[in-house]
Amino acid sequence: MGVTAIVGANWGDEGKGKITDYLAGRSDFVVRFQGGKNAGHTIINDYGKFALHLLPSGVFFQNVTNILATAMAVDVEAFLNERQELLSRGVPDPRILISERAQMVLPYHILFDEYEEERLADRKFGSTKSGIAPFYADKYMKIGVQAADLFDEQRLLGRLSTALEPKNVLLEHLYGKSPIDPAELVPVLMKHGEAIRPFLADTGAILHEALKEGKTVLMEGQLGALRDPDHGIYPYPTSSSTLAGFASVGAGIAPHAIDTVIAVTKAYSSCVGAGPFVTEIFGDEAEELRRRGGSGGEYGATTGRPRRMGWFDTVATRYGCRVQGATEAALTLLDVLGYRDEIPVCTAYEIDGGKTNEFPVPARLDQSRPVLETLKGWKSDITAVRTFSDLPREAQAYVRFIEERIDVPVKWISVGPGRENKNRMG
Ligand code: GDP
């Protein structure tokens, strides 16, 4: 009963999709409350292996209503393609609703994302070039376009003309590209409107009623706590809040409706894109962990980029769990470490000769060095283990060691990418 938020405690790619997929089957609604197609959840189930970008992870269940909520960045073409791919691979037509107040990623958001990364060259942010930063910038500049705007030609032309006036100056004089004619965009966007019309709804009202009826709702976070624009590793966050606290805002429900917050964290660290990453490892050691990690290696679900690898960071994760307001944690990918004789874990940061286990402000992260403690590995395949007590003693000790330092009970452990590879502690 009630509302559960599943969110990342780290830099993203923690395996939230797998945990959501597991819990979605028992839910009435699965809701994406922020972000767009810039991140991906990998889900492996009876239909195959899927990388979901915009669609909520409940799309594989017929009993679930999947909601793309108001604070999402909706890219219509990407949405239609992703849905079509599911259908063409034999997934039954999922129930999907899009908030009529959600704003649209427009073709020029993607262009500006590309041009700006190009201009920044070696200072670039490592954007996925999905238009997300220009999209949210426009939203807060109040020049964005809501789904419901796509059905009124004059209103749409007015919105686009206002938005494009300064953008065309930048296009021509900063980026050296051709300007965009708003009148040419209108028919394209109105066509998008028609394509998503069957999915549009007042999703806030629907969720409000559902909660009154005692329905079960899962809020699905994208990326992780350290990518939050306020509490993360600024200036390397994503452009919308990744925190459970924002889920109620993004979906339009009461903040007190969320009663469970599951912070997902992986048994080692990985990070895509630029920014400080204190426990990062390099060379052969990193390559081996990357190759053995995830399902088929640690490569971005959206971009295919190799992920940066590191040891588990209790400093960053305790902070991540705190800002998420985690009531419990899920530790994923424990199986991956089965090849190690010894496993380093970061328990503190050394900054300017001092030691701390408080996650510092971004300005101090570059000077932070990890203090590592080494735990014994279990040197075995644990993918078939289903209860905590059946895990090798060393694996149990590893989980307990982490649990003590992140201040949140580890309620879930994942030991493989498939639906069946999970166990619950206790
Ligand atoms: P998300 O965005 O947080 O859902 O994470 P991703 O899907 O980007 O990355 C997680 C990767 O790990 C995916 O390839 C999953 O299939 C895989 N995965 C999730 N849990 C486990 C696990 O317990 N063990 C293994 N080996 N792979 C896992």
Bond prior to 235 in cis (omega within 30° of 0):
yes
Q: Write down the pLDDT at residue 45.
A: 86
| C-alpha span between 61 and 48 (Å, rounded) | 14
Mutation choice for ligand 1 from 49, 333, 421, CB with most ligand atoms inside 8 A? 333
Residue 36, class by beta-carbon neighbours within 10 Å (0-12 exposed, 13-18 middle, 19+ buried)?
buried
- Would you say the C-alpha torsion 397, 399, 403, 408 has a positive or negative sign? negative
Of 10, 68, 77, 40, whose CA–CA distance to 265 is shortest? 10
Residue 68 has a pLDDT of 98
Mean pLDDT of 372-396: 96
Q: What is residue 155's predicted lDDT score, i.e. its pLDDT?
A: 96
Predicted TM-score (pTM) of this structure: 0.94
Task: Give the pLDDT score at 301.
Answer: 66
Question: CB–CB of 108/180 below 8 Å?
Answer: yes
Ligand 1 centre from 124 Cα, in Å? 27
Given the residues 13, 28, 138, 228, the one annotated as active site: 13
More confident residue, 304 or 196: 196
**pLDDT over 90 at 21, yes or no:** no
Cα separations (Å) of 362 from 29, 243, 416?
Answer: 36, 18, 33
Range with the poorest average pLDDT among 56-60, 173-177, 272-276, 363-367: 272-276
**Alpha carbon nearest to ligand 1 atom 11, residue:** 294
Q: Is it the case that residue 227 has pLDDT exceeding 60?
A: yes
Choose among 203, 195, 231: nearest CA to 325: 231
Give the whole-angstrom CA distance, residue 18 versus residue 291: 19
Write the residue with the smallest CA distance to atom 10 of ligand 1. 15
256: annotated active-site residue: no
Beta pairing, strands 328-332 & 103-104? unpaired
Neighbours of 275 (CB within 10 A): 21
pLDDT of 17: 84
Tokens 């767009």 -> residue: 36
Identify whether the C-beta of residue 342 lies closer than 8 Å to the C-beta of residue 377: yes
What does the pLDDT read at residue 44?
A: 85
pLDDT tier at 424, thresholds 50, 70, 90: low
- Nearest Cα residue to atom 26 of ligand 1: 416
Amino acid present at 367: Q
In the beta sheet, which residues pair with residue 370? 349
- At 32-87, the pLDDT tens digits run 999 999 877 888 888 998 989 999 999 999 999 999 999 999 999 999 999 999 99
The lowest-confidence range among 202-216, 250-264, 286-300, 328-342 is 286-300
pLDDT of residue 421: 65
Q: How far is the CA of 306 from the centre of ligand 1 (A)?
A: 14
284-341 pLDDT, tens per residue? 999 999 999 988 899 876 677 899 999 999 999 999 999 999 999 999 999 999 999 9
Confidence of residue 423 (pLDDT cuts 50, 70, 90): low
Residue 422 has pLDDT above 90, yes or no: no
- Class of residue 198 by CB neighbours under 10 A (exposed 0-12, middle 13-18, buried 19+): exposed
CB distance 418 to ligand 1 below 6 Å: no
Whether the Cβ atoms of residue 131 and residue 78 lie closer than 8 Å to each other: no
The DSSP code for 261 is: E
Contact 342, 375 (CB under 8 A): yes
Q: Report the pLDDT value the prediction gives residue 296, as an integer from 0 to 100.
A: 84
pLDDT confidence tier of residue 426, bands split at 50, 70 and 90: very low
Quick: pLDDT tens for 116-142. Answer: 988 988 887 777 788 999 999 999 999
At 425 the pLDDT is 59
Marked catalytic residue, from 21, 28, 41, 192: 41
Element (H, E) at 42: strand 41-45
Compute the average pLDDT of residues 209-230: 96
- Cα-to-centroid distance, 9 and ligand 1 (Å): 14
pLDDT of 121 reads: 84
For 88, 157, 272, 349, 411, the CA distances from 38, given in Å and listed in that order, are 23, 27, 11, 30, 29
Annotated active-site residue 113? The verdict is: no
In percent, how much of the chain has pLDDT > 90? Answer: 84
Q: Is the CB of residue 16 below 6 angstroms from any atom belonging to ligand 1?
A: yes
